[in-house]
């Protein structure tokens, strides 16, 4: 993901906000949307890419 384990732990614990580019990487990895990762939608299916 291009980050250290320590930073990732801080993202997960809420001690540090996760950068948008990292959210995009996670969404692609888990094949879902950034909105789903952020809890803004219950829909796991990713949006179609342009």
DSSP 1-50: --S-HHHHHHHHHTSSPPPHHHHHHHHHHHTS-HHHHTTS-S--SPPPP-
pLDDT in tens, 1-50: 788 888 888 888 989 998 999 999 999 999 999 999 999 999 998 888 77
Helix (H) or strand (E) holding 23: helix 20-30
Tokens 């948008």 belong to which residue?
A: 20
Domain segments of the chain as ranges: 1-50
pTM of the model: 0.74
């Amino acid at each position: 993901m291009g980050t250290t384990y320590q930073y990732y732990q801080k993202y997960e614990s809420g001690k540090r906000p996760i950068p948008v580019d990292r959210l995009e990487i996670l969404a692609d990895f888990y094949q879902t949307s950034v909105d789903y990762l952020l809890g803004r939608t219950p829909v796991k299916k990713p949006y179609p890419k342009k």
